Amino acid sequence: MKRSRSVVGAAAAVIALAVGGCSPDEESEASTTGTAPVLSAHSQMLIEDLLTWGGSDLERAVLADRMVTDAEMQQAEDAFRACVAKAGYTAYFELMGEGYATGVSQEERDQIAARYQHDIDAGIAFEASIIHPCEAGTIETIAFIYGQLTSNPRGLTYPELLRECLGLLGLEAEAASVADEQLGGAVSGGEFGKEAELRCMTGILQDLP
Amino acid sequence: MKKLRWGAVLAVALAAPLAFVPSAQAAKGRLVVVVGTATCQYTASVAGGARADNHSCARVGAQTQYISAAGGTGWTAEVKHPTTAIAPVPSGVTYFSGRTAGAINVAGMMTYVWQTL
């Protein structure tokens, strides 16, 4: 994989928490065992909806086989960057597990912020007016599918990933009493303790005993 | 490509009303996003940044806006994630608030509804 998904641009200072990383290095496991990544039910729904209702030529071509390769992800990113460049700006794009971060470059954002010093909402809206139209039809769905396939190759649901993570911390029994739809809030709310909150929501379990 | 107009999107906040808060405080609440006849929910909070925890949306988003120690305003990149999106506060910030979003997949189009906390 040629892109970094572990480093977040310091200028953007943003992170996304990939619960998919809760289990020990799933991506490496998939690549070393030759296990093909599996689309989650959610990803399947996204693809079928998009193909049913339209999507850009790029999205339809990439998602026709219900998979996204590294090269196809790069193609989508290039299209996004080209679109932003056409508007006169430099795109910021960072894959983060099953998600991503976008914007213009930090330097350009600072310039926009200076221009909208007294109306921050207008400044944010201005940047969004550049970025959002370029996301649509390029990275918006493709990046999510790619992120799922690479960071959650078993296609597990969010509750499944959380339960697996809590199980590694010995909290399986406690987790069993919490309904799926309440589990994320319970973990992020600290109901399973600080360690579970940090490790299960940040996907840092590699150093667990 | 089909494109929904933002003006057609209605987002309402349930639970505690959310306000532009100083960094010493935290605001959170369960937000309901409505796009046409579709609805979804996520929990938003501001504590060290903007955070959106998904309950039933297709995706969630987070962005932090701030005032630096030098007095300038700024904001982070938008973070979008299926389950938990966090945009932390950069260092040297004296005041911040968050924006979060829930996305509904309507007719193959991911529609994010952003709300300021």
Q: What is the pLDDT of residues A6-59, one digit of tens each?
A: 323 333 333 344 444 444 344 444 444 567 899 999 899 989 989 998 899 999
Average pLDDT, chain A: 82
Per DSSP, the three-state class of A12 is: coil
* A203 has a chain B CB within 8 A of its CB: no
Query: Phi/psi at A58 (nearest 5 deg)?
Result: -65, -50
CB atoms within 10 A of CB A126: 16
Q: Find all residues with CB under 8 Å of A61, minimum gap 6, and list them.
A: none
Q: Find all residues with CB under 8 Å of A84, minimum gap 6, and list them.
A: A90, A91, A104, A130, A131, A134
Q: Given this model, what pLDDT does residue A112 score?
A: 97
Q: Scanning the structure block, which residue is given the tokens 């020990």?
A: A24
Contact between chains at A103 and B77 (C-beta distance less than 8 A):
yes
Name the minimum distance, in Å, from the CA of A25 to any CA of chain B. 19
DSSP A42-96: HHHHHHHHHHHH---HHHHHHHTTT---HHHHHHHHHHHHHHHHHTT--EEEEEE
Amino acid making up residue B84: T
Q: What's the whole-number mean pLDDT along residues B82-109?
A: 87
The residue count of chain A comes to: 209
Which residue did the predictor score with more confidence, A163 or B15? A163
pLDDT in tens, A49-105: 899 988 999 999 999 999 999 999 999 999 999 999 999 999 999 998 889 999 999
Chain-centre distance of CA A42, in angstroms?
13
Residues of A in contact with B77 (CB under 8 A): 9, 12, 14, 92, 94, 101-103, 109
Name the minimum distance, in Å, from the CA of B72 to any CA of chain A. 7
Number of CB pairs < 8 Å for A and B?
A: 136
Identity of the residue in A16, A19, A46 whose CB atom sits nearest the CB atom of B79: A16
CA-closest candidate to residue B42, choices B61, B28, B56: B56
Residue of A nearest to B108 (CA): A50
Residues of B in contact with A184 (CB under 8 A): 53-55, 83-84
Helix (H) or strand (E) holding A185: helix A180-188
Identity of the residue in A14, A45, A49 whose CB atom sits nearest the CB atom of B76: A14
Per DSSP, the three-state class of A23 is: coil
Query: Rounded distance, CA A101 to CA A96, Å?
Result: 7
Q: Find all residues with CB under 8 Å of B84, minimum gap 6, and list them.
A: A16, A17, A19, A184, A188, A201, B51, B52, B53, B54, B60
Query: Rounded distance, CA A131 to CA B103, Å?
Result: 16
pLDDT in tens, B29-85: 889 999 888 899 998 888 778 888 888 898 999 999 998 888 888 999 999 998 888
Q: Find all residues with CB under 8 Å of A10, minimum gap 6, and list them.
A: none
The token pair at A63 is 């998602």
Query: Rounded distance, CA B111 to CA B99, Å?
Result: 15
Residue of A nearest to B57 (CA): A42
Q: What is the CB-side half-sphere exposure of residue A165 using CA atoms within 13 A?
A: 33
Residues of A in contact with B56 (CB under 8 A): 181
Q: Given this model, what pLDDT does residue A65 score?
A: 95
Provide the β-strand partners of residue B87.
Answer: B50
Q: Compute the C-alpha angle A22/A27/A29, nearest 5°.
A: 95
Provide the β-strand partners of residue B81.
Answer: B60
Say whether pTM exceeds 0.80: no
Q: What is the CB-side half-sphere exposure of residue A206 using CA atoms within 13 A?
A: 10
Contact between chains at B79 and A101 (C-beta distance less than 8 A):
yes
